[in-house]
């Protein structure tokens, strides 16, 4: 494909998409062989290459190397003066519309905030995320559930319950999604407000407006300082 008379930018795009596909398929060495030469490219292509390289390391459980690459994304994004350099928007990609800088910061926080059990839950979580992005939902669910079974009190518990609920929601298995979100809402996780919000959303999918209003109202009452209360109030007004 690259032998066709494409522009340099188009060639970079093709190479980055090839690397992305290899990452999602678990072909990490092939992905890294493509990405490493691009990381020295100034501007958005170099930034995206560092981000994808970080993802490759993350999914392999090489968390220190992943953080190093994500930090390069943050540093490059803050040093550039070109508007939108840290943003890539494409069609039909798991990464569509991501802001590389914000996503890199989130991944750094994820790694640094979940070091318990010698990072074993995080390793399972990383593989589950890759499987989910690759569309292998059942294998992803198996990994998520393995975390809850083996590390019931791990720091990632809230993230895992949210991920499970979202996966079931994506597959329109609303009752299973509701059970996961309810468990999250009842936990002491910082994500509990989101669990309550998601309960309201699922109740709407189940055509149960009274329960949806009750969930949103509970969110507003229990977490008045949460940014999600604005959404909850808007949903209550819409239902009413």
pTM: 0.87
Coil, strand or helix: which one is 156? coil
The pLDDT of residue 21 is 96
The candidate with the shortest Cα–Cα distance to 119, out of 64, 171, 188, 200, is 64
**pLDDT tier at 113, thresholds 50, 70, 90:** very high
The 10s digit of each residue's pLDDT in 143-191 is 999 999 999 999 999 999 999 999 999 999 999 999 999 999 999 999 9
Assign 6 to helix, strand or coil: coil
pLDDT at 3: 53
Q: What is the pLDDT of residue 50?
A: 97
């Amino acid at each position: 494909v690259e032998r066709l008379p494409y522009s340099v930018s188009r060639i970079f795009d093709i190479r980055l998409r090839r690397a992305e596909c290899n990452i999602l398929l678990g072909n990490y060495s092939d992905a890294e062989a493509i990405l490493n030469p691009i990381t020295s490219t100034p501007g958005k292509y170099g930034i995206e290459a560092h981000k994808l390289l970080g993802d490759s390391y993350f999914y392999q459980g090489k968390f220190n190397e992943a953080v190093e690459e994500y930090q390069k994304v943050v540093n490059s994004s803050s040093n550039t003066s070109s508007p939108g350099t840290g943003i890539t928007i494409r069609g039909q990609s798991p990464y569509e519309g991501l802001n590389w800088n914000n996503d890199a910061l989130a991944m750094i926080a994820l790694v640094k905030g979940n070091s318990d059990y010698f990072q074993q839950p995080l390793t399972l979580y990383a593989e589950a995320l890759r499987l989910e992005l690759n569309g292998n939902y059942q294998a992803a669910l198996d990994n998520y559930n393995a975390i809850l079974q083996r590390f019931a009190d791990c720091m990632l518990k809230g993230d895992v319950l949210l991920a499970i609920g979202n996966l079931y929601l994506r597959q329109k298995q609303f009752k299973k999604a509701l059970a996961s979100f309810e468990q999250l809402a009842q936990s002491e996780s910082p994500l509990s407000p989101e669990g309550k919000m998601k309960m309201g959303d699922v109740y709407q999918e189940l055509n149960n407006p009274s329960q949806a209003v009750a969930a949103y109202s509970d969110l507003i009452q229990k977490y008045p300082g949460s940014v999600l209360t604005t959404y909850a109030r808007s949903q209550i007004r819409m239902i009413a």
